[in-house]
Structure 1
Amino acid sequence: GHGNQLCTRFDSLAGRGPPSLTRRVLLARPEALMGHLPDVYNLQRRNPTPDIFRAQPGVVEPNHFANNTKMAARDASGIDGSSPSSSATSTTYPKPRQIMWDELTNVSLINHGSGTSVFSAMLGGVAVAVKAPKHGLSAVHVAEVTDELKHESHILARLRHPNIIRFFGCGSVLVGDAHNIFFIVVELLGGGTLSDMTKPTSARPGLNSYCEILDHALSLARALEYLHQAADPTLMTIHRDLKPDNIGFDQAGNLKLFDFGLAAQVPREVEEYPDDEVGTGGGGRRLPRYRLTGQTGSVRYMAPEVALNQPYNEMVDTYSFSMVLWEMLHKRKPFAGMNVDTHRQVVCRDGVRPEIDNSRPRDLTELFTRTWHQDLDHRPNFSSIVQQIEGMLHEASSEKAASATMRPNGRGGSFRGRLGSMFGSRKKDGASTWF
């Protein structure tokens, strides 16, 4: 049955059949291999007990992305179920646990990534997603992807937030005689990704009004505020790969940040400074810079200091957030048509940013100019961003209500009302009416 698909994707690793042929069949028609699946009950299981859940002091990065100074450090024990610092925005979930492969039912392939395959499944009556190394990889590449998945498990095991994907646990399954395949289990997001919504031709609801866009931006900012300032009392988590492809929605439309394979953890700074001092992110802390791996993430959303291999800190997520927000508003990619070399020169060195026209509200323009500032010391932290977006959303919602009340057609006497029905209509290019 379908419950056996994940394991049998790795048959070529055990020497069963030509990998190149099998890979071509998989990519063209995954179900074509169903007649060649071995009996699921012949698979052996190992107790996974992956050493991934206890944080070590210092900088933590995925090992195979770390630089030659070996700054990455990761250790393990079994799942300890530790919870993050108490926070007004934290969420209580059951503790992550070891998961045996035969607990998963109705396993079905969703898609292939660059190094992983993602499957849907049922775990105790709950729909989940299963992520594992992709079939057809070399033994070295499988080891690297496994290392990244264990790193992601290490990060996710400590996160409890309504806007961050839920982590159920992890496990491993022995395929063939010697290949122990590691997998992680997270919640299944049935509402698609933000990337689906931002396509110019997309008819999916969710970004059709300014208020909806601000609402999603607020959810994302709260998730990042939690990562940076509340998830762990001693370590700060930097996502480092913030982009629409890594932002999804559940069936109820709730935004969820996922894919922590490139995330890094750094020691939390405790030295206090005045809130308005440059270099504190507006949070009263002098923010150190770390020599983490450069050129990490996707280029068009990557902060200049990352692209240029300079020391950086959590403010790289702030820059990426600004690019995601710009794409939400315009329904097109920032810096479309630029190659990597042009982007490095024009955006990273010369400081060019996407166009901001004069029709936008002043507070929104200010938010962009602060969050994508060339100097990371001048970017705000996410507590400041959350407060600003909350104020913008309150104002926009109030003006929307006032505009609708003053005139039946919604074009009331307020300044924003006179701009037209900007809270629901769209331009021909799919962008929200203001933009």
Structure 2
Amino acid sequence: MVMDYDKRTPLHIAAVEGAYSVVQWLVKDEKVPVNPLDRHGRTPLEEAASHDHKEVVMLLISAGGAIYEGDKLVPLDASKLRGAVPTRTRDVGWVDEWEVSPKELKFVSKIGSGEFGDVFKAKWHGSFVAAKLLKRSDEIALGDFRTEIAILRKIHHPNMNQFLGACTKQRPYVVLTELMACSLADAFHWTMITMNRRRQVEVALDFARGMAYLHSRRQPIAHRDLKPANLMFSGNLHADVEQLILDSGVVKVCDFGLSKTLMANDKLKPLQRTDTSAEQFTDTYKLTGETGSYRYMAPEVFRHEPYNLKVDVYSFAIICFQLFEQVAPYATMDPLQAARCAACEDLRPTFPKVSGGLTEVHQKLRTLVEECWDKDPEKRPSFVKIVERLEGVLQLLPMHIHTFTKDQECCTVS
């Protein structure tokens, strides 16, 4: 049996990560032992239960999973972890609290499409919502889908797209979130819309505040797929889109399909550590694998090296480069080429020359961006620190007033 030096098997690792499809493959197809003990006497079921991966818990229990306690294997319901994770379908919180009947939904129009599903504008109890339909409908897809829901329903912050419910009892599987007006990618593509410096900083600050929340949770969440298309403007859906972008819209982080909830890895955690702030997580949580969009991907991810929360800080920097400089990063390269050059040649986007020199604010923003895309992840600031610095920059900028009239195609800024 394959093990690491802590006697953790692939099933242990998959259970910790909540990787439903991997657990399914190991247990059902590979027929691996379901109750191996690691060096600390933990079974895969204990790992899944401790990390609140309900779907993986149910799968392991169905395969004979148990908890090692008192020198013997006992059922979860008879162990010290009983009650920590519901083990009967009627007890599982997301079923009772979040389940939505497809009959309650009226699909209005298709507003987007991705690798994993299509997104529709839908009406639900009189309100417009975003409905994401899962393309795959097999058991493994449903398990992964429910694992994603388990992350979504824990996220509550003004700068996070709000999860509203899901349809998981019949196909097609659907997840409902609040409907947003447009994305930052849309704003970048609409050439008639130009944010002034204060608005640029406001957008970056909304973005950073949302990420500071994700990274500072008791169980931090790494987004791992930050890009302009996943930053959305919310607000009055009856208002002009230009008004939301240039003035009143709140930026929210969306699309948590690649997000990962992190728990401390004992072999990496310093024994003397007592500080659990986001600043202390950088050497405690390590992931590997290539996830996210190439143009905004951190070099260590592209190189398949261990990485941590700071990959999101790198992506933040590349996005803010375009936001502050109003030019696309690596404009002459395709995404894969850009990622390869950033990872293998330490290439970064080139700041355009500014006639007359940089203002104090512009210089501060460029310095922040450069620190955030540092090749050494440990030198990149945390999002808590980024928020503090952006708040300081905002204090240096005058308030702006936008006026809109029905006869204008766009708007005026004063």
* AA of the residue aligned to 1:193: S
Q: Residue 188 of structure 1 aligns with which residue? A: 179
The 3-state SS of whatever aligns with 1:397 is coil
- Residue 181 of structure 1 aligns to a residue whose secondary structure is coil
Q: Check the 8 A contact 2:215/2:309 in 1, yes or no.
A: yes
Contact 1:295–1:306 (Cα < 8 Å) also in 2:
yes
CA offsets, 1:314-333, max 9 Å, x none? 00000000011111123332
Query: AA paired with 1:187?
Result: E
RMSD: 3.6
The offset of 1:127, in angstroms, is 1.2
CA contact (8 A) 2:310 2:382 kept: yes
Which residue number in structure 2 is paired with residue 247 of structure 1? 231
Matched, 1:203 2:192: yes
Match for residue 75 of structure 1 among 45, 54, 61: 54
Please give the secondary structure, in 1, of the residue aligned with 2:119: strand
3-state DSSP of counterpart to 1:396: coil
> CA separation in 2, counterparts of 1:293 and 1:102?
41
Where in structure 2 are the equivalents of 1:235-384 lying within 5 Å? 235-252=219-236, 253-268=249-264, 284-285=279-280, 287-288=282-283, 290-339=285-334, 342-356=337-351, 357=353, 359=358, 361-384=362-385
Do the aligned partners of residues 323 and 390 (structure 1) sit closer, same or farther apart at CA in structure 2, a change above 3 Å counting?
Answer: same
Paired residues of 1:165 and 1:186 also in contact (CA < 8 A): yes
- Cα separation, 2, equivalents of 1:65 and 1:157: 22
Distance 1:256 1:217 in 2: 11
> What TM-score do you get using the length of structure 2 for normalisation?
0.66
Which structure exhibits the higher relative contact order, with contacts defined as CA atoms closer than 8 Å and separated by 6 or more residues? 1
Equivalent position to 2:156, from 156, 160, 183: 160
Aligned 1:389-400 pairs, distance under 5 A: 389-397=390-398
- Cross-structure match for 2:69: none
Within 5 A, what are the aligned runs for 1:207-246? 207-230=194-217, 233=218, 235-246=219-230
1:118 Cα offset (Å): 1.2
Name the SS of the counterpart of 2:304 in structure 1: coil
Distance 1:105 1:319, change over 3 A: same
Shift of 1:59: 3.4
* Residue identity matched to 1:194: L
How many residue pairs were aligned? Answer: 312
Distance in 2 between residues matched to 1:307 and 1:117, nearest whole Å: 27
Q: Which amino acid aligns with 1:348?
A: A
How many Å separate the matches in 2 of 1:151 and 1:127? 25
Distance in 1 between the 2:228 and 2:222 partners? 16
Which one-letter code corresponds to 1:309 in the other structure? H
Can you list the C-alpha shifts for 1:200-224, whole angstroms capped at 9, x where unaligned? x4324xx520100100100010000
**What SS is found at the alignment partner of 2:93?**
coil
Tell me the equivalent position of 2:128: 127
The one-letter amino acid paired with 1:212 is R
Question: Could you tell me which amino acid in structure 1 is paired with residue 176 of structure 2?
Answer: V
SS across alignment from 2:320: helix
- Identity rate of aligned residues, in percent? 29
Aligned counterpart for 1:59 among listed residues 7, 10, 17: 17
C-alpha distance in structure 1 between counterparts of 2:389 and 2:24, whole Å? 35
3-state SS, counterpart of residue 114 of structure 1? coil
